[in-house]
Chains A and B, each alone.
Chain A
């Protein structure tokens, strides 16, 4: 296997801001002078389907995608997506879950039930799980679209390999100028959550 690479999987629902989160991670790697690959697949529709972004950061990165069982961190923007992508997390890997449920189509139509007890199942099987109400945190920062930045603030703090300066510089680079302040607030709130 190649030299040590940080594998980060972002899993969410279309419209939740996973794509921007992936963009931020890519820019963080660039600013840190590291190699990076970001791969995302968005399905046919614009909204409402599952969205997965894979980010790999290291001295030299070949594959754009992460094999099962090798993600160092899984950032789940929605509970059900946390459960779905859990097999990608390596043992002792970091799981960050946004405690929010968004019904998938089979649940909307009544063909399936939204599973109960997801957080309990996660706690049983993952040793490093951080479960937060990122939407509440984002709203308290007056940033209705800030779930992504709250979650990445937590990741930035827990990962710890890259300085906060670099994160903030990258953030300023990827978001629209008029949203920078709101995104900074959400990112800082995420850092604070991880410290508490």
Chain B
């Protein structure tokens, strides 16, 4: 049966068909839906781990214990998981272990656009790279087979276009993968130096075998065409762009993008006059070819940054073919200048009022990753730094140590509840241990909101929405040695301000927890607000919080859009004339 699926759905389906019984992940765009889909299969134990390192360690343990295991994360998540990854490559596995890295060229929703093919080379593991949903499903099954045959973790690399793109998929049946026997084997699984030295030799031997396999790997596909002027080596979505623009040229489509098949590439190069490499981000293939002395063009033509598209590929390859190629002509009218539509905190978002207070107090804000990163944008603009998950707290401590206590009294670290679980706890531990006085503001909306409402250890629910133990954030914070802990209502701007003022002044570490559930989780919100025109002096203060529900047109009174208003009351708190009232018609 054929269905239409995203790459992420298809990948989960493929893992299920391959008999996977354990799956773990931390949510992150564009990878999140892999585990969401995985968790719907009752045969698979699925979990949201607190972070990617834990996810891969759970995965490694499950694989060593004999289960086929899937671990998924976004590209920057692999940085967090790199530590177990680089040693699991030495130990090898028992049941198959596949690590999905969902890369984000163009940074649709990421802080960098690192190319994780480099990780495969660095960790000395094979990487497979599908170019559509069908391949996502097929390749994950191949990855499990490779993993077990070669006793290695295997990386499956997606990019946003494959992860979130939908295309047709032929469904298959699940083939159970019975648990493999567990046999104690410290020489293989205890990486003391003496053992690891031996394992490293095996890793290098394995890589040679894998390179040899790559020469005949069926997914490294040579498509020779009559026109031999140009040959392209490519993989993933770029293959689709190349084929869209030039159905008639010869292509070597790599399904295994590390290790690369040197002989196959040499053979292909000899069949064409000009060899071009089409790869997004780093010159990963090209560096290999250069090292092997195979003449080719790549980054001389194509950018090192951003996402490619069919226009770019058509233009760049077309220029090599004498400019005879028809490039799609933009015949429609030129774009008129229109206001941009950046992402915005939702109406009723509990982060909005908190960030208005941070702006009002003119604090240095050490930020973090989540919906609240939007607090960096106008009109709030209350964020100084945002680096990676968890860096708000430890980064603030560094600023304090560099610039002193007086600076720390004008600074706050802001972190969400899920991000705090991910990697904020260790930073806070350091603040206490290293005698910082930094104030930490945990904006607790009871969920991992930005990626679409995933549970975490602080929500008391599992990935399958079953009740479970809940980490009590105030109790955890106190247990770390923070004596000053305040909990406030995130909608109450005066209370948030008062708590922050008190804690900023304190000569010891302190934590303010601003609580309110993500407004999108609420089925019923409060009664909407209305502007009473007789009281309004059109000062415009209500729009300073930047709520989409407050509509302001030149020469008119502000209006509250009843379809958007959730009754949070921030605009009413902003109004000095008490002109914004609840439930007045």
Binding site for A on B (CB under 8 A): 2-4, 29, 108-109, 132, 160-161, 164-168, 237, 240-241, 243-245, 247, 309-311, 314, 326, 328-336, 338-346, 371, 373-374, 377-379, 449-450, 452, 520, 540, 543, 546-548, 550-554
CA distance A93 to B328 in the complex (A): 14
Shortest Cβ distance from residue A83 to the other chain B in the assembled complex, whole angstroms = 5
CA distance A148 to B309 in the complex (A): 27
Task: Answer whether A111 and B332 are a contact pair too, CB < 8 Å, given A38-B165, A45-B343, A65-B309.
Answer: no
Which residues of A sit under 8 angstroms from B161, Cβ to Cβ? 39, 64-65
Contact in complex: B540, A110 (CB < 8 Å): yes
Q: Is A162 an interface residue (CB 8 A)?
A: no
Which residues of B sit under 8 angstroms from A49, Cβ to Cβ? 341-344
Contact in complex: A109, B164 (CB < 8 Å): no
B335 in complex: contacting residue of A48, A86, A111, CB < 8 Å: A86
Name the residue on A nearest B373 (C-beta).
A44
Contact in complex: B335, A87 (CB < 8 Å): yes
Which residues of A sit under 8 angstroms from B326, Cβ to Cβ? 1
Residues of B contacting A: mostly? loop
10 extra interface residue pairs, beta carbon distance < 8 Å, beyond A67-B314, A68-B328, A70-B328: A30-B3, A37-B167, A39-B165, A43-B109, A48-B548, A49-B343, A62-B243, A68-B311, A109-B543, A110-B543
Contact in complex: B4, A38 (CB < 8 Å): yes
Shortest Cβ distance from residue B348 to the other chain A in the assembled complex, whole angstroms = 10
Contact in complex: A114, B339 (CB < 8 Å): yes
11 A/B residue pairs, CB under 8 Å, sorted by A: A2-B247, A22-B166, A45-B374, A48-B346, A64-B167, A80-B338, A87-B335, A93-B332, A104-B340, A105-B546, A110-B540
CA distance A83 to B378 in the complex (A): 24
Which residues of A sit under 8 angstroms from B553, Cβ to Cβ? 114
B-facing mask of A69-107, CB < 8 A → 1, else 0? 110000000001101101111110100000000111111
Shortest Cβ distance from residue A162 to the other chain B in the assembled complex, whole angstroms = 15
Q: Is A192 an interface residue (CB 8 A)?
A: no
Contact in complex: A46, B165 (CB < 8 Å): no
Contact in complex: B338, A115 (CB < 8 Å): yes
Which residues of B sit under 8 angstroms from A88, Cβ to Cβ? 332
Which residues of A sit under 8 angstroms from B168, Cβ to Cβ? 30, 35-36
Shortest Cβ distance from residue B187 to the other chain A in the assembled complex, whole angstroms = 47
Contact in complex: B165, A106 (CB < 8 Å): no
The total of interchain contacts (Cβ-Cβ below 8 angstroms) comes to 190
Binding site for B on A (CB under 8 A): 1-2, 13-14, 22-23, 26-27, 29-30, 35-41, 43-50, 61-65, 67-70, 80-81, 83-84, 86-91, 93, 102-115, 121, 125-126
Name the residue on A nearest B5 (C-beta).
A26
Contact in complex: A86, B311 (CB < 8 Å): no
Contact in complex: B339, A115 (CB < 8 Å): yes
Shortest Cβ distance from residue B329 to the other chain A in the assembled complex, whole angstroms = 6
Contact in complex: B552, A108 (CB < 8 Å): yes
CA distance A73 to B3 in the complex (A): 24
Which residues of A sit under 8 angstroms from B374, Cβ to Cβ? 44-45
Contact in complex: A84, B335 (CB < 8 Å): yes
Contact in complex: B332, A104 (CB < 8 Å): no
Name the residue on B nearest A33 (C-beta).
B2
Contact in complex: B332, A36 (CB < 8 Å): no
CA distance A35 to B134 in the complex (A): 12
Contact in complex: A108, B342 (CB < 8 Å): no
Name the residue on B nearest A80 (C-beta).
B338
Shortest Cβ distance from residue B165 to the other chain A in the assembled complex, whole angstroms = 4
CA distance A40 to B378 in the complex (A): 26
CA distance A63 to B308 in the complex (A): 11
Which residues of B sit under 8 angstroms from A40, Cβ to Cβ? 164
> Which 10 residue pairs are nearest across A and B when measured between Cβ atoms?
A69-B330, A45-B343, A49-B343, A63-B244, A48-B344, A91-B331, A104-B341, A38-B166, A112-B339, A62-B244
Contact in complex: A63, B338 (CB < 8 Å): no
CA distance A17 to B462 in the complex (A): 28
CA distance A53 to B520 in the complex (A): 22
Shortest Cβ distance from residue B388 to the other chain A in the assembled complex, whole angstroms = 15
Shortest Cβ distance from residue B96 to the other chain A in the assembled complex, whole angstroms = 29
B548 in complex: contacting residue of A29, A38, A108, A126, CB < 8 Å: A108
Shortest Cβ distance from residue B319 to the other chain A in the assembled complex, whole angstroms = 16
Task: Answer whether A41 and B546 are a contact pair too, CB < 8 Å, given A35-B168, A62-B243, A89-B332.
Answer: no
Task: Answer whether A86 and B333 are a contact pair too, CB < 8 Å, given A39-B164, A108-B546.
Answer: yes
Most buried by B among A27, A35, A37, A46: A46
A67 in complex: contacting residue of B132, B309, B346, CB < 8 Å: B309
A110 in complex: contacting residue of B241, B333, B340, B552, CB < 8 Å: B552
Shortest Cβ distance from residue A56 to the other chain B in the assembled complex, whole angstroms = 9
Contact in complex: B371, A81 (CB < 8 Å): no
Which residues of B sit under 8 angstroms from A69, Cβ to Cβ? 328-332
CA distance A22 to B552 in the complex (A): 32
Shortest Cβ distance from residue B529 to the other chain A in the assembled complex, whole angstroms = 16
Name the residue on A nearest B133 (C-beta).
A37
CA distance A80 to B341 in the complex (A): 9
Contact in complex: B339, A106 (CB < 8 Å): yes
CA distance A155 to B168 in the complex (A): 22
Which residues of A sit under 8 angstroms from B237, Cβ to Cβ? 64
Task: Answer whether A37 and B166 are a contact pair too, CB < 8 Å, given A48-B346, A69-B328, A121-B336.
Answer: yes
